[in-house]
Amino acid sequence: MILKMRLTRIIAFIISCTLVGICVFQCAFIFDENMDQIEERNNREDVIGSYEYTHNINNLFDQLWAVSSIYLRNTDSRDKYTCSKEYEKSVKQAMQDLGLMDVSGKLTIDNSSDFEYYAACGDRVFTNTKKSAEDLKSDYSIEYVRGSSDYLPNGTNWVYQSDKRWYTTNYGLTYYLLYGSLPKQAVALYDLDTTGFDSYTDENGAKLYYKTDGTMPVPENIYRNNDVLDFEPANREAFEQFEHDEENVYYALPDERNGFEPDERDIWSEGKKVESVRDMSEVTDTDVYMFFDENSRNWVKVSKDKFQKEIQSNSDITIYIKPSEALIAEYEKYQAMRSNIEQDSVHKALPLIPVGIAGGIIALLLLFACGYDAEKKKFVLSMPDHIVAEIPVLFIAGAAAGVVALICGIDEVRGILSEYYTNVDMGGIITGSAVTACYAIVLGSLITLSTRLKCGSLLKTSLIGRLASFLWKKIKKLGGYIRKRLDSRSVRHIEKNALKNDLFLRRFLIRTAIAAGAEFVMAVFALPYPYHNIEGFVFGSIIVLVVYIYFSFRDHAEIAGVAKQIADMNGGDYSPRTVPEKSPSYGMTNNLNNISDGIRHAVDKQVQSERMKIELVTNVSHDLKTPLTSIISYIDLLSAEEMSPAAKDYVSIISQKSDRLKVMVSDLFDLAKATSHTDVNSEQIDAVILTRQVIGDMADRIEQSGLEVRTDIKAETAPMMSDGKKLYRVLQNLIDNALKYSLTGTRIYLNLENDEKFTYISVKNISAEEMDFTPEEITERFTRGDRSRTTEGNGLGLSIAKSFTEACGGVFEIFIDGDMFTAKVTLPLTEIS
C-alpha cells in the first residue's frame, strides 16, 4: 500500500485538507452570495419579520387588550359609561396613565405600522376597519379569541402573555395586571370616592388606597420617605386586645421603653424575660388587622378573611390584528425568493460534494495507515506521538467549539466585514479558512491518537496514564516494602503479636474508649438542657478525668521499670529483667530482654573476633620477626668479612631493605593492636611536654631533611588521661610524614592550643607532589601521597596516627587546601591549671 511510506502520508494529508478546503470555500462563497440578497431585505424595518414590525404588533395588542378590558367593559355602544361616577373617574385616570386616552376622553392608539385591528368585549367593538373578525383571519394575523390564543402568526415572534389578568374585590377595588409594553404594568380602579384616603404604590406600580377604620385592608409594608419603612407603633391598649401564652415574658412596647413608672419597674425584678416590641405587626395575629376606632377610641380587630378578591375571566375579549395586504404580498414574495435562493445554493453546492467526499476518504485511509514504518515493517510512534494525549483531545474539542462559534456568529462577522470590504467576500474567506484549519487540526489529532492506539501506547502517552502508572509503581513499591518488612526475620526478633500481647497499650485503648464513651453519654443527656445540667456535666467530667489519670499513673509507674532497663542497657548492662506476666510492662520487658540477648551475643562475637585477630597478628609478627632477625644477624656477619666493593654495596642494600621490612612488621603489629583498643594504657600526661619531647628527639632527623619546623605552642600545659607512648607515636608520624612529602625550601608549622575542654595539635606543610586524593583515602592503610612510590614509607604512618588517636579517645582529621596539607589531632583535657 502506497500510504505505508511516511512521505506519501504527509502528501495525502495535504491533499485531503486541500480538497475539503476547496469544498468549504466554494460552499461559503455560494452561501455568502445568496445571503447578501436575503439580508438586503431583512435590514429594512418596514417589512414583516423585522424587529420594528414585531415590536409594533406586540405593542398594539397590549393597547387593544387594555382598551377592551378597561374601557369597552364599562361603556355602551354610544361610548357612554355604564358604571358609577367614582368608577368612571378611575377608568379615565387609568386610561390616561396608560397613554390610551387624551384629556377630552378620546381613545388614542399608536398604530404606526397601519395594522388592521378588531377588538371586542362582549357586544362592544373597537376597530379601525369595516371588516369583520372573520375577514381579519390569516396566517399573518394575531388571533386572541375568548381570552386565549395558541396560534403564532407568520413573520413575528409574538407570543400571548398569560399574565394579563384582573380581579375584583368586595371593598370597591378592581385590579388589572397589564404586563407588556404599556407605561404601567398594573392599574387599580375604585368604585368609591378615594378623596382623603391614604395611598401607596405596590410592586407593580399601581396606586392603592386604604383606610384604618376596618372598611379597607391596610398594606402590610408601606414604603415612604425614600424607601424607609414606616411602622404602626404598638401601645399597651392595643396589645391588651390579644391573648399571650408566655407567662414568663414581659413585652416592652415602644412608648414604654423610654421610662418606667415605679410599679412597672417592679416587672423587671419579677424574673420575667423582657422582649421589645417594635410595631403592631409583631403582636397581632397574621390573619387579623388591628384598627383604632376614632369614634369609640378603642382598638378593633378585623379578620383578613373579611376582605376578599375574585379572579375574573377574559373570555369576553376578542382581538384580531392583521398586517396590510401589501406587506403580506411582499413577505410571500420574499419567502418564494428565499426558497429559490436556497434551492440554487443546493444545486451549486452539489458538484462540490464529491470533492469533499474524496478528501474524507483520503482522511479515512490515513487513519488506517498512519504510524506504519516501512523499514521496521510495524507501527511505531513518531515525535508528535510522544506529546501527552490530552493535547490532541483538547485540539479536537477546541476545533469543534470553534466551528460552532463560527456558525453562530458568522452573520454578525459578515455584516461587519461587508462595511469595509465591498468587492471582496471576506466572510467567505474567513469561514473557509477557519473551517479548513479546524479540519486539519482534527485530522492531525485523530492521526496521532490512532497511531497510539495501534501501538498500544495511548494510556502510556497520556497524562492520566502516566500519573496512574506512577501511582501504581509507588503502590507496588510500598507493597514490596511492606511484604519485605513482614517477611524479614532476625536472630532475636520481637514477637509478631507484640501489639496483641502489649497489656499497657491494650489498657490505654480500653481506658480511653471508656472515658470517651462516658463523656459522650453525659454530653447527650446534659448539653441539650444547658440551664439545668451544665453543673452535672462539669462535675461528671472531672470525675472521669480523675479516674482516667489515676489508672494512667498506676500503669506508668510499672512502665518506669522499662525506662530504667533502657538506661541500664545504654550504660552497658545487658542483664535480663523479670516481671509478672500480668504487668503492663511485660511485653516491652520481654522485647528488651530479647534485644539485650542479641546485643550481648553480638558483643561476645565481636570481642572473640578481635581476640582472634590480635592473636593472628601477634603470631604472624612473631613468625616474621624470627627469620627477619636471623637475616639481619647474617647481614651483620657478612659486613665484617672481606668482600669486593660491589659485594659490599649489595650487602648494604640488603641491610637497608631488611631494616625497612622490620619497621613495616612492627608498624603492622602496632596498627592491629590499636584498632582492637585492647592495649591502651591510660595515664596522666601533659601534651605540651610530650610535643616538645618529640621535637627534641627528632632534631637530627629534621636537620638532615633541610626543612625548618616552626612551633607555636600557645598553652603552658595540656593535662589529659591518655596513652603517652601512642600519642608520642602519633606526633612522631605526623612530623615524619611532613618531612617526607614537603616541598624543598618550605617550612613545617606545628601548633598547639587549648580551649575549655580540648587541646588541638596541628601539623601543616606544603606538599611537593600534587595531592589528587581525598582526606579519607590518605588515611587508608598502605596509601601514600607519592603515587610513584619514589620516597620512603609504607603507607601506614597516617593510618597508625589515626588509629592511635581514636584509641586514646581523640579525633584525627585531615584538611587539604590546594598544596597545603594539614593534620589535626583533637584530645580531651582533664583539667587546666
Q: How far apart are CA 233 and CA 56, in angstroms?
A: 50
Read off the pLDDT of residues 562-577 as tens digits, 9 standing for 90 and up: 777 787 777 777 778 7
Say whether 101 sits in a helix, a strand or coil.
strand
In a domain, 337, yes or no: yes
Q: How confident is the model at residue 558 (pLDDT cuts 50, 70, 90)?
A: confident
Q: How far apart are CA 158 and CA 62, in angstroms?
A: 11
Scored b (16 or more CB within 10 A) or e, 267-292 reads: eeeeeeeeeebeebeebbeeeebbbb
* Same-domain check for residues 687 and 642: no
Contacts of 417 (CB under 8 A, 6+ apart): 426, 427, 430
Would you state the pLDDT for residue 173?
A: 94
In a domain, 410, yes or no: no
Would you state the pLDDT for residue 551?
A: 81
Q: How confident is the model at residue 297 (pLDDT cuts 50, 70, 90)?
A: low
- Which of 202, 221, 255 corresponds to the end of one domain? 202
Give the residue numbers spanning the domain of 283: 236-306
Q: Is it the case that residue 191 has pLDDT exceeding 70?
A: yes
In a domain, 499, yes or no: no
- Residue 534 DSSP one-character state: H
Q: How confident is the model at residue 486 (pLDDT cuts 50, 70, 90)?
A: low
Contacts of 242 (CB under 8 A, 6+ apart): 283, 284, 285, 301
In a domain, 469, yes or no: no
Residue whose entry in the numeric block shows the C-alpha cell 596513652: 723
Nearest residue to 682 via CA among 577, 827, 568, 799? 827
Which grid coordinates belong to 689? 611536654
211 or 826: which carries more pLDDT confidence? 826
758 or 531: which carries more pLDDT confidence? 758
* Same-domain check for residues 339 and 241: no
Would you state the pLDDT for residue 84?
A: 93
Is there a contact between 20 and 439 (Cβ–Cβ < 8 Å)?
yes
Q: How many domains does the chain have?
A: 5
User: Which helix (H) or strand (E) segment is 604 a member of?
Assistant: helix 586-640
Which of 85-89, 247-251, 705-709 comes out lowest in average pLDDT? 247-251
Nearest residue to 673 via CA among 616, 635, 602? 616
Section 686-706 average pLDDT: 90
* Same-domain check for residues 191 and 63: yes
- Residue 182 DSSP one-character state: S
* Same-domain check for residues 442 and 351: yes
- Which of 677, 709, 741 corresponds to the end of one domain? 677
Q: How far apart are CA 779 and CA 797, in angstroms?
A: 9
Nearest residue to 367 via CA among 475, 472, 251, 448? 448
Residue whose entry in the numeric block shows the C-alpha cell 398604530: 111
Q: Is it the case that residue 238 has pLDDT exceeding 50?
A: yes
In a domain, 274, yes or no: yes
Amino acid identity of residue 239, one-letter, is F
Q: At what angle do helices 724-741 and 687-697 cross, to 10 degrees?
A: 50
* Same-domain check for residues 337 and 444: yes
Residue whose entry in the numeric block shows the C-alpha cell 609478627: 621
Say whether 453 sits in a helix, a strand or coil.
helix
Q: How far apart are CA 748 and CA 709, in angstroms?
A: 5
Would you state the pLDDT for residue 263?
A: 46
β-strand pairing of 820-828 with 719-722 = unpaired
- Residue 5 DSSP one-character state: S
Torsion, Cα of 396, 402, 406, 408 (10° steps): 100
Section 125-153 average pLDDT: 88
In a domain, 82, yes or no: yes
* Same-domain check for residues 38 and 97: no
Which grid coordinates belong to 222? 408601606
Q: Is it the case that residue 499 has pLDDT exceeding 60?
A: no
3-state secondary structure 263-332: HHHHHHCCCCEEEECCCHHHCCCCCEEEEEECCCCEEEEEEHHHCCEEEECCCCEEEEEECCHHHHHHHH
Is there a contact between 788 and 747 (Cβ–Cβ < 8 Å)?
no
In a domain, 608, yes or no: yes
Q: How far apart are CA 665 and CA 674, in angstroms?
A: 14
Q: How far apart are CA 54 and CA 47, in angstroms?
A: 10
Which grid coordinates belong to 594? 530479647
Q: What DSSP assignment string belongs to 414-427?
A: HHHHHHH-SSS-HH
Q: How confident is the model at residue 603 (pLDDT cuts 50, 70, 90)?
A: confident
* Same-domain check for residues 14 and 30: yes
Section 718-737 average pLDDT: 89
What average pLDDT does the structure give for the chain? 78
Question: CB count, 10 Å around CB of 27?
Answer: 20
Q: Which residues pair with 75 in a beta bridge?
A: 81
- Which of 181, 202, 223 corresponds to the end of one domain? 202
In a domain, 708, yes or no: yes
3-state secondary structure 149-178: CCCCCCCCCCCCCCCCEEEEECCCEEEEEC
* Same-domain check for residues 377 and 348: yes
Would you state the pLDDT for residue 333?
A: 84
Q: How far apart are CA 333 and CA 326, in angstroms?
A: 11
Section 401-426 average pLDDT: 67
Read off the pLDDT of residues 317-352 as tens digits, 9 standing for 90 and up: 999 999 988 888 888 888 888 888 778 777 777 777
Q: Is it the case that residue 732 has pLDDT exceeding 80?
A: yes
Looking up residue 698, the CATH number of its domain turns out to be 3.30.565.10
Nearest residue to 751 via CA among 832, 815, 704? 815
User: Which helix (H) or strand (E) segment is 180 a member of?
Assistant: none
Q: Is it the case that residue 755 has pLDDT exceeding 80?
A: yes
Q: Is it the case that residue 549 has pLDDT exceeding 60?
A: yes
* Same-domain check for residues 270 and 191: no
* Same-domain check for residues 616 and 751: no
Count Cα neighbours of 279 within 13 Å in the Cβ-side half-sphere.
Answer: 9
First-to-last alpha carbon distance for the chain, in angstroms, is 100
Q: How confident is the model at residue 509 (pLDDT cuts 50, 70, 90)?
A: confident
* Same-domain check for residues 437 and 551: no
Q: How confident is the model at residue 495 (pLDDT cuts 50, 70, 90)?
A: very low
Contacts of 544 (CB under 8 A, 6+ apart): 515, 518, 519, 522
Section 453-476 average pLDDT: 84
Q: How far apart are CA 164 and CA 65, in angstroms?
A: 9
Is there a contact between 331 and 49 (Cβ–Cβ < 8 Å)?
yes
Residue 765, CA distances (Å) to 45, 462, 694, 772 in order? 105, 62, 17, 16
Listed in sequence order, the DSSP H helices in 179-247 are 236-239
* Same-domain check for residues 56 and 198: yes
Section 785-802 average pLDDT: 62
Using left for φ > 0, alpha for ψ between -120 and 50, and beta otherwise, residue 311 falls in beta
Count of residues in the chain: 833
Is there a contact between 111 and 128 (Cβ–Cβ < 8 Å)?
yes
Section 501-528 average pLDDT: 75
Residue whose entry in the numeric block shows the C-alpha cell 587508608: 780
Which grid coordinates belong to 196? 382623603
Phi, psi torsion values for 810, nearest 5 degrees: -105, -175
Percentage, residues of the chain above pLDDT 90: 17
Q: Is it the case that residue 731 has pLDDT exceeding 80?
A: yes
Would you state the pLDDT for residue 265?
A: 45
